[in-house]
Structure 1
Amino acid sequence: MLLAIDVYYIDNSAKTVGVLFDNWQADSPAEILVAYKHDVAPYQSGEFYIRELPCITELLKQVDLSTLSAIIVDGYVCLDNHGKSGLGDYLYQYIDRQVPVIGVAKKAFNENTKYVAEVFRGKSSKPLYVTAVGLPLERVAEAVGTMHGKHRMPTLLTLMDQQTKIFKLE
């Protein structure tokens, strides 16, 4: 089972959505998980994990990590060519390296070329920026490339993004 996670913020509250799916080519989720968190930290460039990680860990309370083959986050595992940890690496450390973590980002960050693979999907001239810990980057980039959907963003990552934006405070 794979788990893709994204977080959406309104003021100091957050909605975290997790999309569980059976394999890289799945076109529909096995399950959609939701968690809400209030009083989240403000955004800090380069230290996004401070805001995002508590939201993700709240969602992970609903998941048996032993059932997962990877976790996909909207962001980076590694931020630069020097190996500076990003959200994905902080998550990997938090879960005691039990499950590989993959970062899939829509924008390049900090001239990161050493630890990132550009994945072109569909007819898009813009890549997705893929990073990983716990699995070889080349294998992960290939897997992201095979995800369902004919556009730049895979079907289930688009669904996840849409689900985060349907926001009601709980």
Structure 2
Amino acid sequence: MKLAITVHFDGAQAQAAAVAFDAWDAPEAAKTYVSHIAQVEKPARGEPDLRELTCVMQLLREHKLAPELILIDGFVHLDAEATPGLGQHLFHALGSRTPVIGVSKTGRPGLPAQFEVMREEEARPLTVTCAGVDIGAAKVRVRAMHGRKRVPTLMKLVARLAKNAD
């Protein structure tokens, strides 16, 4: 099982959501998970913002999830020099055993075109970064995901779940 995960913040609270899928071209989730986090502390000034990591780890523990791969809405690396982003911290928190692929709708100045994936001809590219899996393989998998539009269907679904779960 693979998981697509995202976190939505609402003030000091957060909702972490995940959708499970087996095939990269799956049109719908095999199962969905949501965790409500009542209090999320902002990082101290000058400290990295790892609030999403805390929420993702709580979701994995709460639902006893051990996926073969995690797809996040965000960055694994922040630049070509592999400055750690959320995904790299998650990869290490999971003992460097579970590959993490980050998919972002926006680019970053330090990430060259080799991290871009075109899913729709006239749309802007998605930015793909990863840990524990080859970048070429990660890009092929993201490109193969279901959905005719730029953002894969399951990434849209997990974003809706995180924002709308009660």
Offset of residue 46 of structure 1: 9.3
Deviations 1:90-122 (A, max 9, x none): 0000000121001001111242228x6201112
Offset of residue 41 of structure 1: 2.8
- Hey, what's the Cα distance between the residues in 2 that align with 1:105 and 1:28? 20
Aligned match of 1:128: 126
CA gap 1:45/1:164 in 2 versus in 1, 3 angstroms: farther
Matches within 5 A, 1:63-142: 63-65=64-66, 68-113=67-112, 117-142=115-140
Offset of residue 36 of structure 1: 1.0
Aligned match of 1:40: 40
Check if 1:3 corresponds to 2:3. yes
- Hey, what's the Cα distance between the residues in 1 that align with 2:46 and 2:150? 25
- Hey, what's the Cα distance between the residues in 2 that align with 1:85 and 1:119? 20
Deviations 1:35-57 (A, max 9, x none): 01122133789934x11100000
Preserved CA contact (<8 Å) 1:24 1:146? yes
- Hey, what's the Cα distance between the residues in 1 that align with 2:145 and 2:46? 29
Preserved CA contact (<8 Å) 1:124 1:151? no
Preserved CA contact (<8 Å) 2:20 2:32? yes
Give 4+ residue runs of structure 1 displaced > 4 Å after superposition: 43-46
- Hey, what's the Cα distance between the residues in 2 that align with 1:5 and 1:41? 20
TM-score by length of 2: 0.91
- Correspondent of 1:159 among 148, 151, 157: 157
Structure 2: which amino acid aligns with 1:166? Answer: N
Aligned match of 2:145: 147
- Hey, what's the Cα distance between the residues in 2 that align with 1:123 and 1:164? 29
- Hey, what's the Cα distance between the residues in 2 that align with 1:126 and 1:45? 32
Aligned match of 1:21: 21
CA gap 1:46/1:81 in 2 versus in 1, 3 angstroms: farther
Structure 2: tracts of 5 or more residues without a match? none
Number of residue equivalences: 164
Deviations 1:114-149 (A, max 9, x none): 8x6201112442011000110100011011001001
Preserved CA contact (<8 Å) 1:77 1:101? yes
**Partner SS, residue 7 of structure 1:** strand
Q: Which moved more, 1:35-44 or 1:96-105?
A: 35-44
Preserved CA contact (<8 Å) 1:2 1:22? yes
Structure 2: which amino acid aligns with 1:77? Answer: V
- Hey, what's the Cα distance between the residues in 2 that align with 1:120 and 1:92? 25
Structure 2: which amino acid aligns with 1:11? Answer: G
Preserved CA contact (<8 Å) 2:34 2:165? no
Structure 1: tracts of 5 or more residues without a match? none
